[in-house]
């Protein structure tokens, strides 16, 4: 089944403790992206990647890192999480210029 797999689905962590949210797609998509979604603010892009080893900042990159060592994986790294990073996170992938397939989301709470 073609899909984007995010893990974990839910995560509660403490301020400053490094964490990684994984994202993997099995559709051979070139493009992958991370979004955060907060109430009333729609989808805001954090980082995106046009292909392996090519990543760029989105609208809200501060406090986040990404890597694209393989085509299928695009992990999101929070080196020192803070409470303002509490949010619902979505990974998405697509062929360049096409519609996105989204992962199921990761609900992160930083206390």
Partner 1 sequence: GENVEQHPSTLSVQEGDSAVIKCTYSDSASNYFPWYKQELGKRPQLIIDIRSNVGEKKDQRIAVTLNKTAKHFSLHITETQPEDSAVYFCAITSNYQLIWGAGTKLIIKP
**Nearest residue to 52 via CA among 34, 69, 33, 40:** 69
- Cβ-contact 102, 42 below 8 angstroms: no
| Binding residue for partner 1, selected from 50, 65, 75, 86, defined by CB under 8 A | 50
Binding of residue 31 to partner 1 (CB under 8 A):
yes
- H helices of the chain, in order, are none
Binding of residue 74 to partner 1 (CB under 8 A):
no
Binding of residue 11 to partner 1 (CB under 8 A):
no
Nearer to partner 1, 11 or 50 (CB): 50
Q: Which stretch binds partner 1 (CB under 8 A): 20-28, 62-70, 71-79, 103-111?
A: 103-111
In which residue are the tokens 């990073």 written? Answer: 85
């Amino acid at each position: 089944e073609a899909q984007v797999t995010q893990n974990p689905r839910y995560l509660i962590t403490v301020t400053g403790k490094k964490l990684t949210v994984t994202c993997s797609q099995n559709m051979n998509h070139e493009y992958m992206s991370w979004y955060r979604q907060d109430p009333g603010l729609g989808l805001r892009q954090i980082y995106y990647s046009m292909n392996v080893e090519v990543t760029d900042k989105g609208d809200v990159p501060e406090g986040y890192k990404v890597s694209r060592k393989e085509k299928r994986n695009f992990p999101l790294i929070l080196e020192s999480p803070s409470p303002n990073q509490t949010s619902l996170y979505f990974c998405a992938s697509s062929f360049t210029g096409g519609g996105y397939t989204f992962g199921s989301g990761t609900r992160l709470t930083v206390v």
